[in-house]
Structure 1
Amino acid sequence: MTTNTRERADLLESLARHRYFLTHTVRGLTDEQARRRSSPPSELTPGGLIKHVSATEAQWADFVVRGPEAMAMTPESYQAHLDAFVLGEGETLADVLDGYAAVAARTDELVRTVDLDAEQPLPEAPWFEPGAAWSARRVFLHVIAETAQHAGHADFLREAIDGQKTMG
């Protein structure tokens, strides 16, 4: 196995592990429970978190392929960003999980096939260093970190609903 193949396998395994932890937190929840906010009051909901992680991963995968225009912020894309935190009345947890699985499959294919050293310039934003560029590898590591962080949030929210914990 070449180093590049091992590296890709490690990236895929990390993505799969943290996606599992994230989606495991909502297993067995009803759509109503997936919309429930925690106490103390928070806008975050389990279903909204899954939807947000899915949208964010899809955007970063687009960035790997298309560059900074995939991250362009317009009034419509900003509203979509805000909407991605909410499991709407017409949406089901099953639909959101199916959408996330499709996003994950696309990202996994990119991990397997793109040049991990290929860089794209980051868009101008206060949270990015001016003039910085990220390699595909750096983007995938960022997606892993984001997924892991939000899996922790989801675990906390799930425990507040019915006491279930992902790890423990």
Structure 2
Amino acid sequence: MVTHVPSAAHGDERGALLLFVEAQRGGLRRSVIGLTEEQAASRPSASELSLSGLLKHVAECELNWLRMAQQQPNPKQRDQSDWHESFRLTGDETIQGVLAFWDEVALETEEFIRKVPSLDDTFPLPPAPWFPKDGQVSMRWLLMHLVEEFARHAGHADIIRESLDGKTAFELVALANG
């Protein structure tokens, strides 16, 4: 399993935040170790969530936040008509493909964050009922939000994986580490 490791694990704030983001990515990535595409796509709980769908969602979510911070268009931008497609693999999408896509996004996120002059630099939030009018957030806020988003979904992944085969996050860490 390929995982992105931040290039510099410094004790500075920027490095620490990037490591926390990566740690939460790891929890999600490990959730599919040893599963088939069919198992990872299954929904063994009352929720509509699947492990492969969660991976796709968080990868697209990270890309969306990165593009907002860069103030660039997002070619994978979703709206109400296709939001549900971000939670399941479609067409010829595979877990390996989603993980490779996420690796690219993770690398781009790190490169971008390492180049911004300050974590205090801000970017505008788009108009949405859940954002304040003319709201702005900092790069620091972005990284903290990614930790929050990934951790929330890693918890979902833990429940789904335990429902599938009884494997716990602790066991998956041991499997990942050989």
1:39 is displaced (CA, Å) by 2.2
Measure, in 2, the Cα distance between the counterparts of 1:143 and 1:137: 10
2:107 to 94, 101, 105: 105
The corresponding residue for 1:43 is 48
What is the SS of the residue equivalent to 1:18? helix
The corresponding residue for 1:158 is 161
How many equivalent residue pairs?
161
CA gap 1:79/1:104 in 2 versus in 1, 3 angstroms: farther
What is the SS of the residue equivalent to 2:92? coil
Q: Indicate conservation of the 8 Å contact 2:121/2:138, yes or no.
A: yes
The corresponding residue for 2:61 is 56
1:165 is displaced (CA, Å) by 1.1
Query: Could you list the per-position Cα deviations for residues 31-76 of structure 1 after superposition, in whole angstroms to 9, with x for gaps in the alignment?
Result: 0011100222x21100000000000000101111116x659x7xx6
TM-score by length of 1: 0.86
Matched residue type, 1:28? G
Measure, in 2, the Cα distance between the counterparts of 1:141 and 1:149: 12
Q: Which runs of 5+ in 1 are unaligned?
A: none
The corresponding residue for 2:25 is 19
1:81 is displaced (CA, Å) by 3.2
Measure, in 1, the Cα distance between the counterparts of 2:74 and 2:124: 11
Measure, in 1, the Cα distance between the counterparts of 2:155 and 2:27: 8
Structure 1 range deviating more: 152-161 or 113-122:
113-122
Q: Which has the higher helix share?
A: 1
Q: Which runs of 5+ in 2 are unaligned?
A: 1-9, 172-178
RMSD: 2.3
Q: Indicate conservation of the 8 Å contact 1:122/1:134, yes or no.
A: yes
Query: Could you list the per-position Cα deviations for residues 7-26 of structure 1 after superposition, in whole angstroms to 9, with x for gaps in the alignment?
Result: 11111110111111111111
TM-score by length of 2: 0.82
